Amino acid sequence: MYKIRLQQFEGPLDLLLFFIKRDELNIYDIPISKITKDFFEYMNLIKSLDLEVAGDFILMATTLMQIKVRMLLPKEVDEKGDEIDPRADLIKALLEYKRYKEMSEELAFFESSQRKLSYRGNYSEDYKVAPSEFGVLLKNITLYDLMKAFKNALLDKPKEIVHEIKKIPVTIEEQINMITALVNEKKEVAFLTVVTGMDEKIRIIVTFIALLEMIKMGKIGLRESANFNDFVVYSLNNG
């Protein structure tokens, strides 16, 4: 007992391209009799192995037979008097499929190459200076670090079972003044220390926005903290 292994094709156009490449045929001048014969032999082999023949293959077989018959008949001409090649639509479809297949293979190659890359983690030992004018204000601090500390500040607050709608009197200007007073007094302070005692999440959010505004204005800078879930705010007031 022996096994026959069939090459898998994505569709009838894929099979036809295989025949063209295998036999080094001219795709613009397809020998329709030969390629039709090869196509039917492949379909007969599938049937002999009791494999299901997809409808697309049967449709292609019908198309090939129609083209073969038309090529045996007298030449057809169009309105300009030029001969009509019965294979024209098939050739166009093959060229389009060939282009998309080559593009797909190229993308697959890029994907395979990308999987071979291994990115280094643990950037804590790298000193980072961003190229922008504000980069020097964010020493080793990324946007991910900021959002992580902000998230932890919110999660530390107890969840309210009953929600009461009330207006909390807090503004960005007030929080800027509060942060300014803290960093002027202590020169540097942890973010979680800044929001300590703030029971309302909205107050923490406004404080975080105020902090970002102060960075933009060049009044404070940020750097890493020993606590991975926090960062240090320090004053840039040299006076």
Summarised one tens digit per residue, pLDDT across range 5-57 is 455 677 788 888 888 888 888 888 888 888 888 888 888 877 665 556 667 77
Kindly report, residue by residue over 141-169, the tens digit of the pLDDT: 666 666 667 667 766 666 655 555 566 67
Q: What is the identity of the amino acid at 20? A: I
Q: How far apart are CA 208 and CA 178, in angstroms?
A: 12
User: Quick check: 213 and 137 in contact, CB under 8 A?
Assistant: no
Report which residue type is found at 128. Answer: K
Q: How sure is the predictor about 105, in pLDDT bands with cuts at 50, 70 and 90?
A: confident
Candidates 151, 140, 160; CA nearest to 224 is 140
Please name the residue that has the structure tokens 């998230």: 151
- pLDDT exceeds 70 at position 128: no
214 pLDDT more than 60: yes
> Is the model's pLDDT at 208 over the cut of 80?
yes
Higher per-residue pLDDT: 101 or 143: 101
- Least Cα distance to 181 among 210, 147, 216 occurs for 210
List domains and CATH numbers for the chain: 12-115 (no CATH), 135-235 (1.10.10.580)
| pLDDT above 70 coverage of the chain, percent | 69
Q: How many CB atoms lie within 10 A of CB 194?
A: 21
Confidence check: pLDDT of 130 > 50: no
Is 0.75 topped by the overall pTM? no
Q: Which residues pair with 221 in a beta bridge?
A: 234
Could you tell me the two tokens for 76? 């057809």
AA letter at 204? I
User: So what's the pLDDT on residue 141?
Assistant: 62
Query: What is the side-by-side strand order in the sheet with 220-224?
Result: 138-139, 220-224, 231-235, 188-190
